Amino acid sequence: MAADRYLSFTGTAPGRFLTRRLGLPRPVPLSRWSPQHPRLDGTLRHLVAGADKPDPALEAVLARTGLPTGDDTAPPAAVLLDATGVRDIDALAEVHAALHPVVGTVAPSGRVVVLGAPLDPADHHQAAAQQALEGFTRSLGKEIGRGRTVNLVRLTGPDAAESTLRFLLSPRSAYVSGQVIEVGPGPVTSPGDPDRPLAGRTALVTGGARGIGAAVAGTLARDGARVVVLDVPAAEEDARRVADRLGGGALTLDITAADAGERIAAALPDGLDVLVHNAGITRDRRLVNMPADRWSSVLDVNLASVLRTTDALLEGGTLRPGGRIVATASIAGLAGNAGQTNYGASKAGVAGLVRALAPRARAAHDVTVNAVAPGFIETRMTAAVPLFIREAGRRMNSLAQGGLPEDVAETVAWLAHPASGPVNGQVVRVCGQSLLGA
């Protein structure tokens, strides 16, 4: 990966002086998860808008995140505002009143999480007030700075949101900001070992030999999964190296082959619990100069293969009840990108697949379907991008820096968690709240 020298420079005294004087982005190195740093440093401030007092059930869930509460004197590491009771414009004033005094005191790399309720189609005042929380959250994320993130969670009940709150109120979510995550009804399975929630489960990661795929494989293995690394035959050596390091297995095949799903099923006779669709390619060129083979190859790898293998593994019963499918979309599919009509189409198609399949897969197979949509992630691929384009990609987000493969991997691990059953049909951007798109 190419070093982010600008990020390093802004941490020096001359860098701080120049960026302040010239009005340039001032990124802060993000505090990410490690075995030595499993939690945020500091306390959690629990605030309420639209209700008289905190919900005891929510307080019990927050206590299990590991962040201490109750100290109102020290700068908080995280602030959670329960705005599920906001039903009209007057109650929205309580959102301002609650956050206005404390938001500037949140520690660097801290978290602000707003809880909202589903929009009530029978009450347009409630729907307007709750929808207002979305614009509020995304706007606050773009101004809060200092490596802090802001997200909105719409939930039906606090117990269903525990795995989501654990993720968002931790260093694992360092590059996830400006997101609206819906947590609906669904089964919550508490893992036997909270530190290894995927113990006893099998995960398959396509495109797992390098980059983001290898990071996803490593994170799922860290969480206890037996990981099978799938990649093309040309990457067999890398795939086996990753698999050996993780104590898993390697599988090499062409994911675009018509029988790829059947071959995966044959290699996993005991079944599969987590399917991560990460394999993808780019063949960039403006549409006016794009030959048909560049279009079809990208659509085949990035979308058609996802559809075919998902159908085969679901219909054949390879994905066991309680399973998780996590596909890889992209902000290029959500916001568009010049020179990537093929790639953007394929990744938007992934988002469409997720939203349509999720309720049916839950009902028929007890399997959830979600997607991650990475933004600018520091990989060997982005290191080869020309300097000025690379710098623009790094700075055009609220955190003013590129993400790491581990940021995507941590998000996949949250979606794969046994207790994340209520999270279904979501497309979660891992982009530092990119300034492109919503």
Among the listed residues 175, 343, 376, 414, the single catalytic one is 343
Indicate whether 259 belongs to any domain.
yes
pLDDT of residue 159 exceeding 80, the answer is yes
Range of the domain at 97: 31-183
Helices (H), 278-402: 292-299, 305-315, 331-335, 341-365, 380-383, 387-395
* DSSP one-letter code for 82: E
Tokens linked to 346 = 């394929």
Do 269 and 415 lie in one domain? The reply is: yes
Q: Could you tell me if residue 17 is inside a domain? A: no
Same structural domain, 123 and 211:
no
Q: Which of 162, 135, 140 is nearest to 150 (CA)?
A: 140
Q: Give the CATH number, domain containing residue 99.
A: 3.40.50.720
Residue 166 in domain: yes
Confidence tier at 389 by pLDDT (50, 70, 90): confident
Q: Is the same domain home to 141 and 285?
A: no
The label of the residue with tokens 């009840």 reads: 321
Mean pLDDT, residues 337-342: 93
Residues 357 and 239 placed together within one structural domain of the fold: yes
Confidence of residue 192 (pLDDT cuts 50, 70, 90): confident
pLDDT band (50, 70, 90) for residue 386? confident
> Is 343 assigned a catalytic role?
yes
pLDDT of the residue at 61: 94
Per DSSP, 59 falls in state H
What are phi and psi for residue 361, nearest 5 degrees? -65, -35
pLDDT for residue 437: 66
Same domain flag for 131 and 95: yes
Residues 287 and 348 in one domain: yes
pLDDT in tens, 212-257: 999 999 999 999 999 999 999 999 999 999 999 999 999 999 999 9
Task: Return the higher-pLDDT residue of 192 and 365.
Answer: 365
- How many folded domains does the chain comprise? 2
What average pLDDT does this structure show over 82-101? 97
150 inside domain: yes
pLDDT of residue 167: 98
- Taking the model in full, what pTM does it have? 0.96
Is 234 a domain residue?
A: yes
Q: What was the pLDDT predicted at 301?
A: 97
Share of the chain above pLDDT 70, in %: 99
pLDDT tens for residues 59-72? 999 999 889 987 67
What's the count of helices (H) and strands (E) in the chain, helices before strands? 16, 12
Radius of gyration of the chain (CA): 22
* pLDDT average, residue stretch 155-160: 90
pLDDT at 420 over 70: yes
How high is the pLDDT of residue 69?
A: 87
Query: Mean pLDDT, the chain, as a whole number?
Result: 95
Shared-domain flag, residues 294 and 377: yes
Do 177 and 215 fall into the same domain? no
Domain-ending residue, one of 183, 217, 232:
183
Cα–Cα dist 393/164, whole Å: 28
What is the spatial distance between Cα 225 and Cα 33, in angstroms, rounded to a whole number? 19
Residue 3 confidence (pLDDT): 85
Domain closes at, from 183, 213, 230: 183
Cβ contacts of 123 within 8 Å, gap of 6 or more? 87
Give the pairing type, strands 202-206 and 226-231: parallel
- List, for residues 262-295, the tens digit of each pLDDT value: 999 999 999 999 999 999 999 999 999 999 999 9
- Counting residues of the chain whose pLDDT is more than 90, the rounded percentage is 85
Residues 212 and 141 in one domain: no
The whole-number pLDDT of residue 88 equals 97
Tell me the CA distances in angstroms from 370 to 42, 172, 272, one per residue in order.
Answer: 31, 18, 16
* 393 contacts: CB under 8 Å, gap ≥ 6: 375, 376, 382, 385, 402
Choose one of 183, 210, 237: the last residue of a domain: 183
Label residue 436 by pLDDT band (50, 70, 90): confident
> Quick one: which of 417, 321, 433 has its CA closest to 367?
321
Res. 137: pLDDT tops 90? yes
- H or E stretch including 324? strand 319-328
* 20's tokens: 């302040």
Residue 381: pLDDT band by 50, 70, 90 thresholds?
confident
Whether the pLDDT of residue 423 is over 60: the answer is yes
Q: Is the domain of 141 the same as that of 232? A: no
Please determine, for residue 438, whether its predicted confidence score (pLDDT) is greater than 60.
no
Find out whether 398 and 435 touch, Cβ atoms under 8 Å.
yes
User: Quick one: average pLDDT of 327-351?
Assistant: 95
Mean pLDDT of 140-161: 95
Check whether 404 has a pLDDT greater than 60. yes
Per-residue pLDDT at 363 exceeds 80: yes
